[in-house]
Amino acid sequence: LSGVSVLLLVLVAFSALIGVIVYRVSVSAALAANADRGVARYSSMITSATAAFLNLICIMILNQFYTRLAFRLTELEMPRTQSDFDNSLTLKMYLLQFVNFYSSIFYIAFFKGRFVGYPGDLTDDTSAFSKRTQEACGTGGCFVELTIQLAIIMIGKQALNAFMEMVNPWVQSLLHRWSLGDTTETDFQNAPQWEADYVLALWKPQALFYEYLEMVLQFGFVTIFVAAFPLAPLFAIINNVFEIRLDAKKMISQMRRPVAKRVKDIGVWYGILEVIGKLAVLSNALIIAFTSDFIPRIYHLAKYGSMETYVNETLSFYESKEFNKFNITPVSSKWCMYLGNRYPPNAGENKYKPTTDYWEELAVKFAFVVIFENIIAAFTMILAWAIPDIPASLKRQIKQHEYMTNELIMHTEVERSKVTQNDKSD
């Protein structure tokens, strides 16, 4: 039941993403056709910003629904221990939140504009379904749109969470005071501290869970997509500075004193953080190689020794008279230019097919991904060796403590055996 329900909720998140895509395509087409040149010129940026805000609203609404349903599904599983309950809840919640918060960003970074049609792809035998092309990126690519999407979702989420953390304890305390009825403020002022704190908001058992979830989601924004939004760590630091003070005020003056519990570690969160770290390396390598124009520029500079002809080399020619095949009104010029490394119409059998530069550039992109991953992996191994989890001085103290414990046990056993022998001799 839990697996099917989680899968259904993931599909709901994808449905919301598809709805935003439809909105983006519709608004972009409407703005591009606007008579006002200023509106048409900035149609891509306006569409990206409004779609990102709409996506943020959908994310926050689904977030509330996912939280309640994840708790309910975990309770229906009836885990044997509290640790099993926490681990099951954590995996469900993070999977749902991962899809909810990151799906639109992954779409723009790795899928948008990757499956658009090119001249030569459409023939008389092409089916009606195959003639439908995917949403394309703007003239400058998808990198700017990715940055806008990431910035709005990350900063908007942090701002809304900070506001809710300020308001929630105060509202809970106010409702609790109202539920007490005739009890006055003076009664609590004259009462002992532990009794006066009764009107404060209750520290629930899962309170720290939301703190961990918020930090892990923020860690994902900062690491997985940092190549697209280098200012993400700065906004994360600013948010965390305010978060520390908000949490301090909340725990000290707005909530009842929590009951401290000793735990072995942070549980399944550690494994999730490790997976995010490995995913971040691959994600940033792919963003730099395939989403940004970093590799095409480096390739062009290495091959031609100059960037003067870079724009012309990234454009290909299309013969305007071929528009007649598709009942499209031809333009006045003989040629149209489009983004892509393709052969011109007069190339014979290679007409509109990818050029040699296209395949060489693609090979360089894959080589960059492999080299980037190996360099980061080697650097990570060096750091892990240079900064061990347990310092050498602490390891010596642990071994010394274990040695003293063993000596004490052996001494106790020897004394016990002596007493036993004396009893037998008597």
Residue corresponding to tokens 């990126």: 137
**Which residues contact residue 215 at a Cβ distance below 8 angstroms, ignoring those fewer than 6 apart?**
none
Nearest-angstrom CA–CA distance, 249 and 246? 5
SS3 241: helix
The Cα angle at residue 183 between residues 182 and 188, in degrees rounded to 5: 170
Q: Which two tokens stand for residue 388?
A: 């061990």
Q: Quote the pLDDT of residue 81.
A: 83
Cβ–Cβ < 8 Å for 118, 4: no
- For the chain, the straight-line distance linking the first and the last C-alpha, in angstroms and rounded, comes to 69
Q: Quote the pLDDT of residue 369.
A: 93
Residue 421 to residues 111, 408, 416, 424: CA-CA distances in angstroms? 80, 20, 9, 5
For residue 46, the Cα-to-chain-centroid distance in whole angstroms is 23
Q: Quote the pLDDT of residue 181.
A: 62
Cβ–Cβ < 8 Å for 335, 317: yes
Kindly report, residue by residue over 269-288, the tens digit of the pLDDT.
888 999 999 999 999 999 89
Closest CA to 54 of 77, 26, 30: 26
Cβ–Cβ < 8 Å for 173, 254: yes
Kindly report, residue by residue over 136-168, the tens digit of the pLDDT.
676 666 778 888 888 898 888 888 888 888 887
- Low-confidence stretches of the chain (pLDDT beneath 50): 127-130
Q: Which amino acid is at 199?
A: V
Quickly count: other Cβ atoms within 10 Å of residue 23's Cβ: 15
The Cα angle at residue 366 between residues 364 and 372, in degrees rounded to 5: 95
Q: Which amino acid is at 11?
A: L
Q: Quote the pLDDT of residue 76.
A: 85
Single pTM value for the model: 0.78
Quickly count: other Cβ atoms within 10 Å of residue 136's Cβ: 16
